[in-house]
Amino acid sequence: MPVLYLTEADVGSLLTMDLAIEAVAAAFRKVGCDEADNVPRRRCQTDRLMLHVLPAAAKTLGAVGFKAYTTPRDGPARFHVTLFDPKTGELAALMEADLLGQFRTGAASGVATKKLARPDAATVGCIGTGKQARTQVLAVCKVRPVTRVAVYGRDASRSAAFAAQLAAETGVAVEAVDSAEAAVRGLDIVITATTAREPVLKGEWLADGCHVNLVGSNFLAKAEADVDVFRRASLVSVDSKEQARLEAGDLLAPLNQHVLSWADVFDFGPLLVGKYPGRQTPHDITVFKSLGLGIEDVAVAARVLDLARQKGVGREIL
């Protein structure tokens, strides 16, 4: 079988949020049923850049491979997913994966929101106005009857442009607000998708019954949520508890202050398939901490590869 190379443009021509949500939900279900293997992110570095690798396999999804990306000190990050044939082990595809990563991260929050947010949740607040924030909002709008989105970023002009773009993409009223608090108070679903090292979300701002997606940090030295978020939460779930022990900076302070224990933190895959209870009452505050998993990447990439072969997209390289 020929090896297919897909560029960012190729991936963009095939990938939709609906596809990403379906693929990520299937990946979480496989993890929850012990039918997939996800290896936590591994990192190594030189004085110039860091390499990040996320391997994963799920035979019944046709997904075996890894995402690798580099983050240079000077210059843009570069992302690729490598897929292998799940039966023969032969190299099947190599695809550029910046957009794919944005969509799979948004999709993970979409799946978590569908499981944990109140069914009538209709208002969304988003702190952050970057590429990841965009796909977060797109995904949440796919799984709940959203009527209003409030967004906050430090740059007012960028926030306004971001709001206008999202309004056009979703058909929902999107408003740029002038503070993080204004993007949180009274809203049903709250998203943080920032590069912040210190908390930008305070638990005192959260409305009873809201659902929170924390997606910005995957380093222990970075946290977007303060301890009060976890003090008020009835349920805390992570995409991978194993990976969270290595990367979830948001959990560090509440764990150290004994507001939270690891026994209180639930893997989302088993929760999704019913091994743990989810939301218990309309007043519960639920939290999903997303770190980004290799199984999400390879599951989405496998679906993209299937479409590429069907539609003749991409270039054979071997």
- The reported pLDDT for the residue numbered 1 is 76
Tokens for 304? 């993209």
- The reported pLDDT for the residue numbered 285 is 98
The whole model's pTM is what?
0.96
For residue 306, CA distances in Å to 140, 298, 311 come to 25, 12, 9
Instruction: Please state, in angstroms and rounded to a whole number, the distance separating the CA atoms of residues 238 and 142.
Output: 21
| Beta-bridge mates of residue 43 | 52
The backbone torsions φ and ψ at residue 83, rounded to the nearest 5 degrees and listed phi first, read -115, 145
Report yes or no: 91 and 1 within 8 Å, Cβ to Cβ. no
Tokens 């995402």 correspond to 67
Local confidence pLDDT in tens for the 318 residues of the chain: 789 999 999 999 999 999 999 999 999 999 999 999 999 999 999 999 999 999 999 989 999 999 999 999 999 999 999 999 999 999 999 999 999 999 999 999 999 999 999 999 999 999 999 999 999 999 999 999 999 999 999 999 999 999 999 999 999 999 999 999 999 999 999 999 999 999 999 999 999 999 999 999 999 999 999 999 999 999 999 999 999 999 999 999 999 999 999 999 999 999 999 999 999 999 999 999 999 999 999 999 999 999 999 999 999 998
Tell which residue, 5, 24, 21, has the closest CA to residue 96: 5
